[in-house]
Amino acid sequence: MAQDNIQSTLHEERQFPPSADFVRSANLAATTLEHLYTDAAQDNQEFWAKQARNEIDWQTDFTTTLDSSNAPFYSWFVGGKLNVSYNCIDRQLAENADKTAIIFEGEPGDVEHISYRELHRRVCVFANALKAQGITKGDRVIIYMPMIAEAVIAMQACARIGAIHSVVFGGFSASSLKDRIEDTQAKLVITADGGNRGGKIIELKKTTDNALEKGCDSVDTVIVFERTGHAISMQADRDIWWSDAEQDQSTECEPEWVEASHPLFLLYTSGSTGKPKGIQHSTGGYLLNAITTMRWVFDIQATDTFWCTADVGWITGHTYVAYGPLATGSTIVIYEGVPTVPDAGRFWDICQRLGVTIFYTAPTAIRALMKIGDELPNQYDLSKLRLLGTVGEPINPEAWMWYHNVIGKQKCPIVDTWWQTETGAHMIAPIPGAMATKPGSCTRALPGIDAAIVNQEGEEITQANEGGYLVIRQPWPSMIQTVWGDDQRYKDTYWPYFDGKYYLAGDSARRDEDGYFWIMGRIDDVLNVSGHRLGTMEIESALVAHPSVAEAAVVGKPHDIKGESIFSYVVLKGDRPEGGIDDELTQELRAWVGEQIGAIAKPDEIRYADNLPKTRSGKIMRRLLRTIAKGDEITQDTSTLENESIIPQLQGKA
């Protein structure tokens, strides 16, 4: 655990209560919310049991709400059987079959509306296609797709037959894809010929071919969806077009009823070691919190058009694109491309044209669009918007105010939602019709979620505004089940202190006088670049794998738009380049990291030094490196450094 004192520097006094209009039609009024808090405080398990029976259609009711006998491996809703795809789609067929489930918009401008009836048909046909390829309950399937409706159809089809999907973000490299295939031992990969992003084609099939060339013996089949229609190569005994796989498949597919703890999916995320971990999520508990947060935090109602801009490659795209909104029978928007094609008004154009009422995006996107100015958003009619959300990183008050004024026209509450891949769903977030928001605060823990800030001894910090470790003190339904294939790592990473009783989120936070939470940042070596989690060790391992690199250290540097940028210090095997500059090598190393992990992990800056600064025990002095990256004055003690002359090198002054 970091020993540095956790200090807060942000002071924000403004408060924004919801408008009377919003309150009037909100799902949760302040009094109902108080009841939920009281119920949860009285009997947490009873509270969740009641929610689970209200919100989920169980094929077999559960007998035990929570089994803690093998803590921290908690099991919710034991004995219960259900199917997520059934809960998302089939339950709409009786009354809402013609309602639009998905409005898909491609980057080139093609738009498609898919009703719940049609979604049911497509998911069933594709689920049968998977079965025909030999996929059964418990098999792992990799999904490496563009952000198109078929990505969600593929996920839903896996859920329907009890196969465990692992979606790999389309921006990850062949090498990252291969690692995930090998760790999951997937039998089948679903991909596309390509996807449209930024006016270019993302070569998904080609990257898949490269990944499979390097091993991945578990894979028998690759299903390829035709999206771009450009030429790709197909391997006869392995690859099959999506449309061919669907030939003659029935439009009905009986859902596979699985136990509540059956893994719905694995999603890889970065931690503080070089190897990403496969976060394993359950079926029943995960679905429950996906639904409750849709109702409570997003105030979802039958007439809403809900747009979460996240890619399905991230947890946000799982919970708030593929599962939560469909499980509440909502209409969602899926957009394939980037926000700047054909110009930076694309998001607002989509909101206007498709009538988006709830819009959920990352602070990095808000900052980037804010920088371009008010003129573009002001050209569009955004009057249908009624609620805005943010996720992934702290939002600075300036960006919050811009979002509030220019996009929300001062009438839309903003829900700043704190959660993680591991938590499965929102944990700390406003209930928009029931409380005032403050720019930069994710406000209060949701009913049933026991979040607290503690010191190193695990004692709750009650002093307002004093920083500490953010922990969750009681298990919750959508919690991580384990790290795929590595129970020990699950225990060591999330339950290392406090007698293994509290879930350690890895963030530091404080609470203000009103008890509102303010997230201050990570306590481990994890960066948050444009809302994406990247382990510094992962990037370091990639750098060190280059033949010229002896050692590398990576730290985050504050960045206007991305939140953090990636700053690396590199020690070469040969001599340090003259003056510490070698543009050619720098470009080569950036491209190298791009190949090893993906473009999102490319270092923004690289500085060469003869050595890295280390403590006597050999630990890299990361705090010092962060100070230097920022260009701040060094206040740390550097007298223990063996070679103090490296300081000017690290500073880029020698």
Residue 442 binds ligand WTA, judged by CB under 6 A: yes
Binding test (CB under 6 A) with ligand WTA, winner from 194, 337, 392, 535: 392
Dihedral sign, Cα of residue 457, residue 461, residue 466, residue 468: positive
Closest separation between CB of residue 527 and ligand WTA, Å? 10
Q: Minimum distance from CB of 415 to ligand WTA (Å)?
A: 9
Shortest CB 226 distance to ligand WTA, Å: 31
**Complex with ligand WTA: residue 259 or 507, whichever CB lies closer:** 507
Can you tell me which of 179, 193, 336, 416 binds ligand WTA, judged by CB under 6 A? Answer: 416
Interatomic CA distance for residues 177 and 145, integer angstroms? 12
Number of residues that bind ligand WTA (CB under 6 A): 22
Of 315 and 434, the one with the shorter C-beta distance to ligand WTA is: 315
The one segment of 223-231, 500-508, 552-560, 626-634 that binds ligand WTA by CB under 6 A: 500-508
Residue 558 tokens, joined: 């504050």
Q: Does 449 contact ligand WTA by CB under 6 A? A: no
Q: Is 538 in the site for ligand WTA (CB under 6 A)?
A: no
**CA dist., res. 498 & res. 3, Å (int):** 16
Our finding on whether 568 is near ligand WTA (CB under 6 A) is no
By beta-carbon proximity to ligand WTA, the closer residue of 27 and 319 is 319
Distance from C-alpha of 547 to C-alpha of 531, rounded to nearest angstrom: 31
Instruction: Show contacts with ligand WTA in window 221-240 (CB under 6 A).
Output: none
454-463: b (≥16 Cβ within 10 Å) or e = beeebeebee
506 binds ligand WTA (CB under 6 A): yes
Question: What is the token pair recorded at 412?
Answer: 């839309």
Of positions 75, 528, 536, 596, contacts ligand WTA by CB under 6 A:
528
Binding to ligand WTA by residue 394, rule CB under 6 A? yes
Given the rule CB under 6 A, which of 214-222, 309-317, 565-573, 630-638 is the region that contacts ligand WTA? 309-317
Tell me the residue number closest to ligand WTA, measured at CB. Answer: 421
Q: How far apart are CA 245 and CA 141, in angstroms?
A: 15
Output 106 or 477, the one with its CB closest to ligand WTA. 477
Q: What are phi and psi of 365, to 5 degrees?
A: -70, -40
Residue 510 binding ligand WTA, by CB under 6 A: no
Pairing, β 517-522 against β 503-511: antiparallel
Minimum distance, C-beta of residue 37 to ligand WTA, in the bound complex (Å): 21
In the complex, least distance from residue 311 CB atom to ligand WTA, rounded to whole angstroms: 11
- The least distance separating ligand WTA from the CB of residue 310, rounded to whole angstroms, comes to 8
Which stretch in 13-21, 94-102, 119-127, 310-318 sits in contact with ligand WTA by CB under 6 A?
Answer: 310-318
Concatenated DSSP letters of 596-651: HTBGGG--SEEEE-SS--B-TTS-B-HHHHHHHHHTPPP-S--TT-S-TTHHHHHT
Window of 111-119, 416-424, 589-597, 612-620 that interacts with ligand WTA by CB under 6 A: 416-424
30-45 CB burial, b ≥16 within 10 A, e <16: eebbeebbebbeeebb
Residues 265-284 that bind ligand WTA (CB under 6 A): 269
**Euclidean distance between CA atoms 493 and 512, whole angstroms:** 28
Residue 69 phi/psi, 5° resolution? -65, -20
- Which 315-344 positions form the footprint of ligand WTA (CB under 6 A)? 315-316
* Residue 561, C-beta contacts closer than 8 angstroms, at least 6 positions apart: 364, 367, 368, 371, 530
Interaction of residue 389 with ligand WTA, rule CB under 6 A: no
CB of 393 to ligand WTA, least distance (A): 5
Residue nearer to ligand WTA on the CB measure, 278 or 506:
506
CA-based nearest residue to 594, from 232, 174, 312: 174
Among 522, 546, 557, 602, binds ligand WTA (CB under 6 A): 522
Angle at 339 between CA 423 and CA 392, to 5 degrees: 20
* C-beta of 253 vs 266, nearer to ligand WTA: 266
| Cα Rg, the chain, nearest whole Å | 24
Kindly indicate which of the ranges 246-254, 285-293, 366-374, 499-507 contains the residues binding ligand WTA, using the contact rule CB under 6 A. 499-507
- Angle subtended by helix axes 583-596 and 536-544, to nearest 10: 120
Q: Pick between residue 245 and residue 308 the one whose CB is nearest to ligand WTA.
A: 308
- Helix/strand/coil for 206: helix
Residue type, 142: I
Among 65, 420, 478, 508, binds ligand WTA (CB under 6 A): 420
Q: What is the DSSP string of 137-191?
A: TT-EEEEE--SSHHHHHHHHHHHHHT-EEEE--TTB-HHHHHHHHHHHT-SEEEE
Could you tell me if 72 and 471 are in contact, meaning their C-beta atoms sit under 8 angstroms apart?
no
* Residues engaged in binding ligand WTA (CB under 6 A): 269, 314-316, 391-394, 416-421, 442, 505-507, 519, 522, 528, 533
